[in-house]
Structure 1
Amino acid sequence: MSVLHPPKPDSSLNVALSIVVPVYKEAGNIRPFLARSEAVMARMGISYEIIFALDPSPDDTEAVILKEIDRNPAVKLILFSRRFGQPAATMAGILNCTGEKCVVIDVDLQDQPELIEQLYKKMAEGYEVVYAMRSSRQGETLIKKAVSYFGYSVINRLSDVQIPRNTGDFRIMSRRVIEELRRLSETHGFLRGMVAFVGFKQAAVLYSRDARLTGSGNYNRLIGSLRIGINGLVGFSSRPLQLMSMGGFMVAAISFAIGLWYVIQKLMGIDLTPGLPTTVLVVSFFSGVQLLALGVVGEYIGRIYDETKRRPMYIVDRKVNFSDLVDQSSSSLK
């Protein structure tokens, strides 16, 4: 079996820049985002398309986008059959865009649309990817910052690819990178890791991240960051399994040494009276090590299970204002 992503969209429209925006329950941010983005595009003087990749929302997000499509023909919509999550929505927008270059940006205006022009100009220096690197994070708690710092440290120490610190999905990519992403068969949609895996010449642009314009984030900041970190680590490295093997060997060696020492003391006639606290401590320690090892193995088994099912990353309900009228899901079986 092989996974087939949507075919390359018709590029005959000669769109210079595609802006991919994953959205869910963001009705209040659509118009402010478009106002600022359209002003940037008018200043740059290039052809563009803005693709909203929408998980079905209980608010008026879809209705607001449809009204904006009537106003501006450059605005497009991909609506999914159910909520597949931000990573899947982002990949759907990327794989269905027609631009020579593609920008991924959130709609909540934490990432400023005005920075797109700087990313675009930086790319003209010969880069295939230019990512926005945060110099500060307004509106984020100390715990969130600590988790992000620790997560990037672990991933970059253990992963086979280097993911730049303090970066999100906000970046610009060339058509060459987009087509390489199309060839990858992963269904997890961890864009930062996938772009790092693809490689090519990449650069960073520093910026200060703003607080959200309206509303609140639609995912748990702590749990969401942990999931992203685990996803990046499991998806791009097998070293945690190697570390578990090494750790198991070391713990076994220590246990053997302790047992040997008890035997020696017994042969020497020393009266051994190990207490309950020692027993509880040893049992708890080894139980924790075993559960940790099983958890790591379980993450890899779960990833293997998901990939072997070959389910599509997303399923499109309908596409609005696209030249191709056939709805495409992310993959199909062959």
Structure 2
Amino acid sequence: MRLSIVTTLYRSASTIDEFCRRIFAAAETIADDIELIVVNDGSPDDSLDLVLARQRRDPRIVVVDLSRNFGHHKAIMTGLAEATGDLVFLIDSDLEEEPELLLAFYRRWLQNDCDVVFGVQEARRGGIVERVTGALFFSFIDVLSDEPVPRNLVIARLMNRDFVRALVRHRDREFLILHLWQLTGFRQVPVTVRKLSSSPSTYSLAMRIEMAVKYLTTTSTRILHLILYAGIAIFALSLVTIGFFLTRYLFSGIGVDGFTSLIISIWFFGGSTTLILGIIGIYVANILSETKRRPYTVVRHIYRAERIAAAGASTVHRLQRDRAIDSDVPR
């Protein structure tokens, strides 16, 4: 069995050596043929140099160096597109999720009733503010999205080749990977895990709002239906209001001050129109991004070491390829 392990680099200099040591130790107990795919997502520290130094000692490491920072989820999809294993284990390299989770996930996968084993936190980390904003984030999405979003997912998951092949065929340019996991389907089973770090999440409130907007405007049509319903409600309310003031004027002679009613009407309808056009504008912007068909990441180099036997000796060659990763081309 060939096992691929996929991870990403971003400010990972302090953890990458220990991560490699522990993940290989775990992987060697279940597979003989192993590759570790490390995607450098434009890390500003010396993470890339450290992993390249380790690759010179261990040719099982494949390093995908992106041309800049494209974002965590897009870097993950790039790494998954490079994976060739019968099983693919995805995990972050920051050691908040233990590399030894591979063994627990593999034991669960051996029960032969699933295609994916994924991790779920036993409890959300962080302080009261972070937990409250996290709960509001998911509640907001649940109300406005077409489908509910699973709570407390972690990155760590073990996937078979069929699932990975189907996952990387998605053509979305703007996405949250948890939605693609859910959309891809297959038989997925959860395993409760514990994140070791109790430090606050790296996702700030602004980033969570941005993620929520991106998720909703790239996956949900419910908002567009709500806009239609809001327009109908505003129209109906205006008819009722006009009828009320007209009736009061006819039967009691009490009119409405023209300036006050005019300004209120302008503010109300102007604000409503601006809000609706803004929402529709986000949808249009997403459509524009998708129709451009740009690659969602650009790879500067792929460092792949291959053992080549020649005259009884083993030589390590590094191959560097310039290319763009495009999810339209299945791997």
Give the TM interval when normalised to the shorter protein: 0.7 to 0.9
Amino acid at match of 1:201: R
Please say if residues 162 and 196 of structure 1, whose CA atoms lie closer than 8 Å, have aligned partners that are also in contact. no
Distance 1:115 1:165 in 2: 19
Residue in structure 2 matched with residue 259 of structure 1 by the alignment: 242
Distance 1:310 1:44 in 2: 39
Ranges in structure 2 where 5+ consecutive residues have no aligned partner: 307-318
CA shift at 1:95, angstroms? 0.4
Q: TM-score, normalization: structure 1? A: 0.84
Identity of aligned residues (%): 27
Distance 1:35 1:161 in 2: 39
CA shift at 1:113, angstroms? 1.6
CA shift at 1:326, angstroms? 4.0
Match 2:195 to one of 209, 212, 215 = 209
Please say if residues 161 and 196 of structure 1, whose CA atoms lie closer than 8 Å, have aligned partners that are also in contact. no
User: Is residue 2:105 matched to residue 1:119?
Assistant: yes
Q: Secondary structure at the match of 2:11?
A: coil
| Cα distance change on mapping 1:52 and 1:273 into 2, 3 Å | same
Residue in structure 2 matched with residue 143 of structure 1 by the alignment: 129
Greater RCO structure (CA 8 Å; 6+ sep): 1
Residue in structure 2 matched with residue 91 of structure 1 by the alignment: 77
Distance 1:255 1:180 in 2: 50
User: Is residue 2:326 matched to residue 1:331?
Assistant: yes
User: Is residue 2:147 matched to residue 1:132?
Assistant: no
Amino acid at match of 1:258: T
Amino acid at match of 1:113: P
Q: TM-score, normalization: structure 2? A: 0.85
Please say if residues 87 and 191 of structure 1, whose CA atoms lie closer than 8 Å, have aligned partners that are also in contact. yes
Please say if residues 19 and 49 of structure 1, whose CA atoms lie closer than 8 Å, have aligned partners that are also in contact. yes
Please say if residues 245 and 256 of structure 2, whose CA atoms lie closer than 8 Å, have aligned partners that are also in contact. no
| Cα distance change on mapping 1:276 and 1:210 into 2, 3 Å | farther
Residue in structure 1 matched with residue 312 of structure 2 by the alignment: none
Deviates more, 1:45-54 or 1:20-29: 45-54
Please say if residues 61 and 305 of structure 2, whose CA atoms lie closer than 8 Å, have aligned partners that are also in contact. no
| Cα distance change on mapping 1:111 and 1:278 into 2, 3 Å | farther
Residue in structure 1 matched with residue 313 of structure 2 by the alignment: none
Distance 1:200 1:141 in 2: 35
Q: Secondary structure at the match of 2:105?
A: helix
1:52-90: CA deviation from partner (whole Å, max 9, x where unpaired): 111223321111111111232222210011221111111
**RMSD, aligned CA:** 2.7
CA shift at 1:329, angstroms? 1.6
Amino acid at match of 2:213: I
Ranges in structure 1 where 5+ consecutive residues have no aligned partner: 1-13
CA shift at 1:136, angstroms? 1.6
Match 2:50 to one of 49, 52, 64 = 64
CA shift at 1:221, angstroms? 1.8
Greater Rg over alpha carbons, structure: 2
Residue in structure 1 matched with residue 180 of structure 2 by the alignment: 194
Please say if residues 53 and 78 of structure 1, whose CA atoms lie closer than 8 Å, have aligned partners that are also in contact. yes
Match 2:159 to one of 173, 183, 197 = 173
| Cα distance change on mapping 1:253 and 1:328 into 2, 3 Å | same
Please say if residues 137 and 210 of structure 1, whose CA atoms lie closer than 8 Å, have aligned partners that are also in contact. no
